Copies of this chain bind each other. A is one copy, B any other.
């Protein structure tokens, strides 16, 4: 059992970060969506472009996502979030429910780095499998 004042483990810190980030996406809160990202983040998103480099390009991918579902709040739920954390580098993957679905149809991988004591997202990869 952990003492109350124990610092959260790296895995706990990352779980909280990723869940807060997903919550910001659901709330269409752009500031929250960008709050955990390094300036040189590299994004592989579901639609083109092939890659988006840097925080400004990353922001544009969320403008596109929010615009594509203008009515009400978008669904963006993680399932089976699995975190692999070292002391300075970590990654995690999850299945993703979007587009108001009930079952996961998307996949997400996130790469993180500890920068000045705080975990930051430096890479994201979102995709849907090809169905034919």
Contacts and interface: CB of A to CB of B under 8 A. Distances in A.
Nearest to A50: B129
* Copies held by the complex: 2
Interface residues of A, number: 35
Contacts of A86: 86-90
Interface in A35-93: 42, 44-51, 82, 84-91, 93
B47 A130 contact: yes
Contacts of A44: 93, 107, 109, 127, 129
Contacts of A90: 86, 89
Contact of A123 (B109, B123, B130): B109
A51 B95 contact: yes
A49 to B, nearest CB: 7
Interface in A91-132: 91, 93, 95, 104-105, 107, 109, 111, 113, 122-123, 125, 127-132
A89 B87 CA distance: 8
A13 B129 CA distance: 30
Given A84-B123, A86-B86, A125-B125, A111 B130 contact: no
Contacts of A45: 129
Nearest to A45: B129
29 contacts: A44-B93, A44-B107, A44-B109, A44-B129, A46-B129, A47-B130, A47-B131, A47-B132, A48-B129, A48-B131, A49-B129, A50-B104, A50-B105, A50-B129, A84-B122, A84-B123, A85-B89, A86-B87, A86-B89, A87-B87, A89-B89, A91-B91, A93-B123, A107-B127, A109-B109, A109-B123, A125-B125, A127-B127, A128-B130
